[in-house]
Amino acid sequence: MYALLWKIGIVGFGNVGQGLAHILNRKKEALQQRYDFEFLVTFIADPVRGSLFNEDGLDLDAVLKEMAQKGSLKDRPEFTAEGTLQLIERAKANIVAEATITNLESGEPGLSHMRKALSVGSHVVTSNKGPIALALEELESVAKENGVCLRYEGVVLSGTPCINMVLECMSGCDVKSVAGIVNGTTNYILSKMEEGYDYLEALMEAQKMGYAESDPTSDVEGWDSAVKATIMAKLFFGANIKVTDIARQGITKVTKEKVIEAKKEGERIKLIAEVRKEGNEILASVSPKFIPVSHALGNVMGPTNALTVATDHLGEVTVIGPGAGRIETGQALLSDILAIHRTCLCSVH
């Protein structure tokens, strides 16, 4: 599908959806000049904050200002009471950016949003790891049937590129293992513990800074990292490993004393998600590990993510960058949108 003027829909207008909108609003001219990418955002779907539709394009500047002032879009003249699925079907945007909250149990409502968008012929980009972890093969099948793309760069390291780095930039390499810090919350907590905080103090500080949820279980018990490990196992090794089958241990039993003692020995404790190939078997795990400070992962501090990819041709390649944030994750969605744009340009020239 090629469109001279791309019509974009944003599903979910929380931090990530607003982050993408801010980028599109701020860089509209630059995107046109650098990439020949012209667009309109024709709908925003968010039952809580308010859904909008205008086939001729929404005024993103006005929308974002209203969101900042009121926390709601329900007073906008473009407001619609239509449900998200109905809006996706009616708008039939060229690209739908799905940015709702991750549900690791069922993948909903993001899974239904993606199914609907792909089935009506919309390309889909997403940062929502639930549907990708639980139903990637199904979604890719629906995309193929309808001649559209499904891209999801942001589901492992947020805005820091890793999926397309491995699948595209490292084409031809055999991946032996991937291991990294894929959860910024736990890395922040462990970094604070090295400063002398005990676990609960460090967790409270992470919550105060907005890095940890009020219920931090998904992060500190390793579930978030385990979901990302299942995605990496599928994408990089072709292995179907369930989240519940991953050997998983979080950081709740790590003490300040262990962290400080490790530092004295020239090591740091990091929560590491690892997928590796041993013979014909693919093994995945999440656990706190002692990492030498001389290794790239050993010097990753604060709410930062990093991934080391071991390959046959390149040896070890490590990418380090932010693992969260509205603009950072919005950038992941933008990179996928521009990748779709490039693919479609190539198909018509």
Residue positions annotated with a catalytic role: 228
Pairing of strands 95-98, 6-11: parallel
Pairing of strands 267-278, 175-181: antiparallel
pLDDT tens digits, one per residue of 211-230:
888 999 999 999 999 999 99
β-bridge mates for residue 97, sequence order:
10, 125
Helix-strand-coil split of the chain, %, nearest 5: 45, 20, 35
Q: In the prediction, which pLDDT does 42 show?
A: 98
> What would the DSSP string read from start to end of 84-149?
HHHHHHHH--SEEEE-PPP-TTT-TTHHHHHHHHHHTT-EEEE--HHHHHHHHHHHHHHHHHTT--
Q: In the prediction, which pLDDT does 8 show?
A: 98
Residue 116's nearest CA partner among 138, 137, 86, 94 is 86
Q: In the prediction, which pLDDT does 343 show?
A: 87
Q: In the prediction, which pLDDT does 346 show?
A: 66
Identify whether the C-beta of residue 90 lies closer than 8 Å to the C-beta of residue 114.
no
Q: In the prediction, which pLDDT does 53 show?
A: 98
Kindly report whether the peptide bond that precedes residue 109 is cis, defined as omega within 30 degrees of 0: yes
Q: In the prediction, which pLDDT does 348 show?
A: 46
Name the strand (E) or helix (H) holding 261.
Answer: helix 256-264
Residue 327's nearest CA partner among 19, 14, 11, 5 is 19
Pairing of strands 6-11, 39-45: parallel
pTM of the predicted model as reported, rounded to 2 decimal places: 0.93
- Which residue numbers in the chain have pLDDT < 70? 1-3, 345-349
